Amino acid sequence: MRTLLSTVGFLLLLLLSHDGGLTGAADAEHNLIGTDSHTHRHRRHHGHRRGEIEYSALSCRAYSASLDEFGAVGDGVTSNTAAFRDAVSQLSRFADHGGSLLFVPAGRWLTGSFNLTSHFTLFLHRDAVLLASQEESDYEVIEPLPSYGRGRDTDGGRFISENGTIDGQGEPWWGKFKRGELKYTRPYLIEIMHSNGIQISNLTFLNSPSWHIHPVYSSNIVIQGLTILAPVTVPNTDGINPDSCTNTRIEDCYIVSGDDCIAVKSGWDQYGINYGMPTKQLLIRRLTCISPDSAVIALGSEMSGGIEDVRAEDIVAINSESGIRIKTAVGRGGYVKDVYVRGMTMKTMKYVFWMTGSYGSHPDEHYDPKALPVIQNINYQDMVAENVTMPAQLAGITGDQFTGICISNVTITLSKKPKKVLWNCTDVSGYTSGVTPEPCQLCRRSSRGLFCRVTSPRVQFLLKKLSYNVVTPEEGTCEDENVLF
């Protein structure tokens, strides 16, 4: 199967396509080592092996060309859509002959959407700025995503490069959206669709009309060193949204946004259930987020294909509505399970922990009210939060309890005017240890151990496979206890 890369949202870049479907970290390792277009290495870290994919697409391309060879003008005014499309089309001929790189020189390059291609690197000079056209007519209208059933989106590719800027110039879109003037869903700045082996590095993304980076139906993705900035008052400008993707690593990113900094998704109600493609094996680390009206990391609300095996660590949040938030609803089906978050530092938060089982928001009236989401084995550990209005609002679904919620070693300092009820826990069960202020009444400490630890063989196995640090089993487990919060 050849990697398919396209984009409507804006631009992209893709690299490394492989035959065969890659399904996991172990498979990826095996598969990637067989190619000549990247390097892969193992590192040792705290005594644990961490298998990490590294691509070296900057130096591996046999052929390169500069955008100005295609008649582009970097004056910020001239439209370069044709130049970009022409360049990608010409360079795509080298896909099977060593690949190609398109260099975008210093300048302000106005363009409508264009697609990327396989075995291709889009490289922006540090002083290059891609300006997204503000004309609706520069954006093709394409089919909605099959796992969402409605909405209008783009396709994508991959970016790789250093330090250049891609400016979505979203302002007219935000206004039109708020005034209900748009016939179609707003474009995403980058959409990577049906692709494998994607890297987006060292770029700045500004002011997307909607979500900034949307990898969907793709695998083996590295997103690193990005700065993503949008005004905190504008609608749906999520930072990075892995959606029905396998094996994604997001690291060293700084995101300021009007919506979730990272939102993990996998399709919407009956469409997502039918499509059945989860997001799994996701690692997020060293993220700094400011999101006053949304979450640092949201899981859902569109999670109907399932979300599993998520690890997040070393996260800093400032002035955000919530830390990790799980959003789901009756009718979603799917699951969110085996989520493991450790090492979060938060300052000025409305909620530290937030789970919402009644998020609502359905694509249409035909969702199945019997399709209940399964939320289980959610682990939060080693966190400090200051200036917090309410430590936890945890609401499962009546008759569909969220289980195996494990919170340990968390210190929360309240704001001057905290809520009266600090922990509000309904239809959730699990275990807490070493948490202040005192969690929900029904939580209890382990009779033996100080901290709850993940010890189920399945979870241990998954963590190992994902090269996570495997926690030493200690007394007291999440799963053995059936303690209602």
Ligand X SMILES: *[C@@H]1O[C@H](CO)[C@@H](O)[C@H](O)[C@H]1NC(C)=O
Among 169, 415, 455, 456, binds ligand X (CB under 6 A): 415
Name the residues annotated as catalytic: 259
H/E element, 416: none
Among 126, 150, 178, 366, binds ligand X (CB under 6 A): 126
- Cα–Cα distance between 468 and 31 in angstroms, integer? 21
Q: Convert residues 220-259 into a mask of x (bound to ligand X by CB under 6 A) and - (unbound).
A: -----x----------------------------------
DSSP 372: -
Nearer to ligand X (CB atom), residue 171 or residue 475? 475
Among 50, 85, 362, 464, binds ligand X (CB under 6 A): 85
Nearer to ligand X (CB atom), residue 273 or residue 289? 289
Minimum CB–partner distance for residue 442 and ligand X (Å): 14
Contact flag: residue 162 with ligand X (CB under 6 A): yes
State the burial class of residue 436 (Cβ atoms within 10 Å of its Cβ: 0-12, 13-18, 19+): exposed
Nearer to ligand X (CB atom), residue 85 or residue 465? 85
Contact flag: residue 132 with ligand X (CB under 6 A): no
Binding segment (CB under 6 A) for ligand X, from list 26-34, 157-165, 305-313, 437-445: 157-165
Within 10 Å of residue 483's Cβ, how many Cβ atoms?
A: 17
The beta strands (E) that lie in 207-334 are given as 213-216, 219-224, 227-229, 246-256, 262-264, 279-290, 295-299, 307-327
Closest alpha carbon to 412 in 390, 379, 431:
390
Inter-residue contact 214 to 208 (CB < 8 Å): no
Q: Which residues contact 401 (CB under 8 A, 6 or more apart)?
A: 427, 428, 429
Within 10 Å of residue 219's Cβ, how many Cβ atoms?
A: 25
Among 282, 383, 392, 412, binds ligand X (CB under 6 A): 383
Inter-residue contact 72 to 88 (CB < 8 Å): no
Binding segment (CB under 6 A) for ligand X, from list 32-40, 97-105, 263-271, 381-389: 381-389
- Cα–Cα distance between 33 and 27 in angstroms, integer? 10
Binding segment (CB under 6 A) for ligand X, from list 90-98, 156-164, 462-470, 477-485: 156-164
Contact flag: residue 140 with ligand X (CB under 6 A): yes
Inter-residue contact 375 to 336 (CB < 8 Å): yes
Binding segment (CB under 6 A) for ligand X, from list 128-136, 271-279, 418-426, 469-477: 418-426
Contact flag: residue 395 with ligand X (CB under 6 A): yes
Residues of the shown chain interacting with ligand X in the complex, contacts defined by CB under 6 A: 6, 8, 58, 85, 114-115, 126, 140, 142, 155, 160, 162-163, 201-202, 225, 348, 382-384, 387, 389, 395, 409, 415, 421, 424, 426
